[in-house]
Amino acid sequence: MPIVTGQDTASTRRRIEAAGKSYAYYSIAAAEEAGLGDFTRLPAVLKVVLENMLRYEDGKTVDVGDIKAFSEWAAKGGKNPREIAYRPARVLMQDFTGVPAVVDLAAMRDGIRQLGGDAQKINPLNPVDLVIDHSVMIDEFGNPRAFQMNVDREYERNIERYTFLKWGQKAFDNFRVVPPGTGICHQVNLEYLAQTVWTDTDQSGEEVAYPDTLVGTDSHTTMINGAAVLGWGVGGIEAEAAMLGQPISMLIPEVVGFELTGRMMEGATGTDLVLKVVEMLRAKGVVGKFVEFYGDGLDHLPLADRATIANMAPEYGATCGFFPVDDETLRYLRQTGRDEDRVALVEAYAKANGMWRGPDYAPVYTDTLHLDMGTIVPAISGPKRPQDYIALDQAARAFHEYVKGQRSCKDANHTSEVRWEGEGGAPEPVDIPGDEGHHKRGFVQTDEHHYQMHDGSIVIASITSCTNTSNPYVMIGAGLVARKARELGLNRKPWVKTSLAPGSQVVSAYLEAAGLQEDLDAIGFNLVGYGCTTCIGNSGPLAPEISKCINDNDLIAVSVLSGNRNFEGRISPDVRANYLASPPLCVAYALVGDMNVDITREPLGEDKNGNPVYLKDIWPDPKEIAELVEKTVTREAFQEKYADVFKGDEKWREVETTDSETYDWPPQSTYVRNPPYFQDMSPEAGDIEDIEGARILGIFGDMITTDHISPAGSFKADTPAGKYLTERQVAPRDFNSYGSRRGNHEVMMRGTFANIRIRNEMLDGVEGGYTLGPDGTQMPIYDAAMAWQEKGVPLVVIAGEQYGAGSSRDWAAKGTALLGVRAVIAESYERIHRSNLVGMGVIPFEFTGGDTRKSLGLKGDESFTIKGLAEVRPQDEVSATITYGDGTTKEITLKCRIDTAVEKDYVENGGVLHYVLRNLAQEPMAAE
């Protein structure tokens, strides 16, 4: 985005010196001197936003009133929800969300030509980096061939997508692609792309310094806030608008201060800390708010731990979790290979503009929390939500209680249902600790092993995800646990699928330098790829005999992963209980293979001499970890691994594509299709049409996540998406995943509301993407939506609290819109999904006055009418009429969650991209 000089804030422009160079910058202190307000006690995170206002003040999208509002925010105790127009410096994407974004840009080039405009107007104005990290799946594991075989399979599956992305890299300005096999976007951002303070040249040719800011098409973009870079996740549609020069419309947020004091005790990790933080902030309620961490505890908190906490902001519900610039920020930038001139600029800028955290840092916050880090103990979270915190010494007991809840007492003893896999007789059943008759069992026999599986058998143990693999302290710790286990003769249990998928190649460099990769390999944690893998559901298939035993015996199988999400149906279709844990604990659980075992008290196994081995026997000393980190995590390693980050391996360099302004959509492609959004689009927008006689597509409960609405994982041949591909001669082994098919709207429409664990309350106890069609029979949601569309009947979706929690995936909104849903009526929304719905022209409404789906007695045979929408204003309350199946009616009041005037413009246009396209088409053509 070109830097503009503000009209009334030009006098706030000052100069700063750093490492012998001079930069211009917009000074918050100068704004105070100019009488624009008192900003001294603003939190650093809001000063970043305030600087954005100073830099882009033009009297139109940003005016002096917007700037003064920040002073009023502090004066009012941290509250002033004024609408502002915010412009981030850059955009970050990953391939699952990035491919559909590039598809939309390509379709917009077609669309603007149809409207008589210039295709070159569809070009990113801000720098965009797309990191290919979501596509690798764990087909092969536990052997030295795993990495190369998974990479080869990744290219086989995704060559259409990679060809398309390479076209985009050539066709669009300001668009770079980080090839497969490099790392996870957030870790690459943290270790290389981010600068904390950015620089650019303005119209006069002067170099201007300003805070590094971004939005990303992945909810965990927030990870970068650990390095004092303000960023958060948005849907692809909102990111595309930002790329094309549209400001992000937002309200000045409340900022919750989270004070950290003390330091963590021996045995506790950054993962344990973040799981407690997630629990506390979820209980507090911070949806739509910024969280800023402060306190003297930060003096003892490495940036890697800060990044872990910032990463999981979506899990605690905040827009971001921000850490101000301090000495630790500078140390990390220097260690990871940033130029010394940049490090000097970061220090000088932060101190000059009031964004430095020193001993006297004491801003005003809307509200505060406190945590003594000395109270942190080892912990996990699960089995379904990241905020379900469990101290490690209570984990086995908590799992027993979960199983009890899943098994009724009348089905207490299930041993008679056991099915034997393979030849020969079954072994005697093995006791399950704390069973009390509630656990089911099954047996597996292969050429190499025979063993019992039961409720609680851990079938996946995965060191994965940017959340923790970016942290050398827990990664070195995991390696040391593996080393000590190996020395004692312990190994993973044969039913556990183990994997190591680091977030960057630097991790492999320091594990190898420390000699720890060999130890991890020895117990099955071989490198399987550089990508998100298990954390996003790309865990790959379990061994057929294990999968069959689980499903034949209805077992509650378990996964343990060092990720950030453990929602139902996300990790593996065979796994019902998923636990988040630190990398060292992932190794420990792979050794024991059973969630029923209390690993804080019971042995993990036996050593070579038959002696019991306990967790304490293999847990590393913090000093040992620190010494190895100091020795092996070096500036030189980062510089070497990121030297050719955009070049890619030989496979990437061999991908061929065309040079063309618009994309030549291959008619045979099942991965990339021209979406219907802009076809036959009129040059002018219209009013919002009333919703009349809309039928209910689904009634859903609380905490329905975007994973439920638009799953990312695998799907079967008998699903609507599977049938679509089968009809096009795609074999089931080549289906890949929903996530990889996001460039094809036909697949994604069919996958909307298709999570295998979603429950539509219109049906009695049925799991999966089903509803009642117009004829009253049960059918897939996609089929019902198409049947209603044929009848010309609009649709609504009904839901409970926190609708749309989790990932920022725009397809949760795109699929909803393409199914013909005009509105969603929920008790409350998560921030990103509400924004995405608006961005696709779907109106979010909230129940009011204590009304809920249950209090209203909704069954699914009702219809909704909502009138007066052409005149609706942001956050207005509107009247709606419910007509019940028996013909009776009820008037209720709904709150319209179109939150800003700009959002109303978006809905009137049919979506934010339609709004942008119409505006760009009306601009004059560029001169030849």
Nearest-5° Cα angle at 901, 898 to 907: 55
pLDDT of 427 higher than 70: no
Give pLDDT tens digits for 735-765: 988 988 999 999 999 999 999 989 999 999 8
How far are the Cα atoms of 131, 457, 516, 538 from residue 482, in angstroms, in the given order?
30, 20, 8, 24
Greater confidence (187 vs 902) lies with 187
Give the N- to C-terminal CA distance of the chain in Å, as an integer: 23
Cβ-based neighbours of 789, under 8 Å, separated by 6 or more: 820
Give the per-residue pLDDT at 467: 85
Residue located via tokens 């692609």: 177
Average pLDDT over residues 127-155: 93
Cβ atoms of 471 and 502 within 8 Å: the answer is: no
Give the Cα separation of 32 and 746 in Å (integer): 54
Give pLDDT tens digits for 545-561: 999 999 999 999 999 99
Q: Which of 652, 665, 815, 664 is nearest to 742 (CA)?
A: 815
pLDDT of 512 higher than 90: yes
pLDDT of 324 higher than 90: yes
Give pLDDT tens digits for 820-848: 999 999 999 988 899 899 999 999 999 99
Give the per-residue pLDDT at 97: 84
Give the per-residue pLDDT at 750: 97
| pLDDT band with cut points at 50, 70 and 90 for residue 417 | very low
**Assigned token pair, 175:** 């668009």
Cis upstream peptide for 180 (omega within 30°): no
Three-state DSSP at 629 gives helix
Average pLDDT over residues 849-853: 96
pLDDT of 422 higher than 50: no
Phi and psi of 144, rounded to 5°?
A: -65, -20
Average pLDDT over residues 305-328: 96
Give the per-residue pLDDT at 9: 63
Give pLDDT tens digits for 785-808: 999 999 999 999 999 999 998 777
* Amino acid identity at 896: C
Q: Which domains, and CATH codes, for the chain?
A: 90-375 (3.30.499.10), 379-616 (3.30.499.10), 691-921 (3.20.19.10)
How far are the Cα atoms of 395, 485, 593 from residue 613, in angstroms, in the given order?
19, 9, 14
pLDDT of 3 higher than 80: no
Express as a percent the part of the chain with pLDDT over 90.
80
pLDDT of 437 higher than 70: no
Average pLDDT over residues 506-535: 94
Q: Please spell the DSSP secondary structure of 743-795, one letter per residue.
A: T-HHHHHHHTT--TT-B-TTSSS-BSSEEE-TTS-EEEHHHHHHHHHHTT--E
Phi and psi of 463, rounded to 5°?
A: -90, 105
Give the per-residue pLDDT at 428: 63
pLDDT of 409 higher than 90: no
Strand partners, 829: 803
The whole-chain average pLDDT of the chain stands at 92
Give the Cα separation of 63 and 58 in Å (integer): 6
| pLDDT band with cut points at 50, 70 and 90 for residue 134 | confident
Average pLDDT over residues 131-158: 92
Q: Which of 233, 291, 290 is nearest to 91 (CA)?
A: 233
Average pLDDT over residues 587-612: 96
Each as own residue / partner, the long-range contacts of residues 29-36 (CB below 8 Å, 24 or more positions apart, any chain) are 29/352, 29/353, 29/354, 31/67, 34/9, 36/9, 36/12, 36/64, 36/67, 36/68, 36/71
Cβ-based neighbours of 52, under 8 Å, separated by 6 or more: 86, 87, 210, 211, 213
Alpha helices in 57-145 (DSSP H): 64-75, 95-114
Average pLDDT over residues 530-546: 89
Give the per-residue pLDDT at 406: 86
Strands 248-251 and 230-233: unpaired
| pLDDT band with cut points at 50, 70 and 90 for residue 436 | low
Give the per-residue pLDDT at 61: 87
Give the per-residue pLDDT at 760: 97
Average pLDDT over residues 152-173: 93
Least confident of 278-287, 359-368, 497-506, 562-571: 562-571
DSSP state of 57: -
Nearest-5° Cα angle at 535, 533 to 537: 70
* Amino acid identity at 691: I
pLDDT of 616 higher than 80: yes
pLDDT of 568 higher than 90: no
pLDDT of 928 higher than 80: no
Give the per-residue pLDDT at 236: 80
Give the per-residue pLDDT at 420: 38
Give the per-residue pLDDT at 10: 67
pLDDT of 1 higher than 80: no
pTM of the predicted model as reported, rounded to 2 decimal places:
0.85
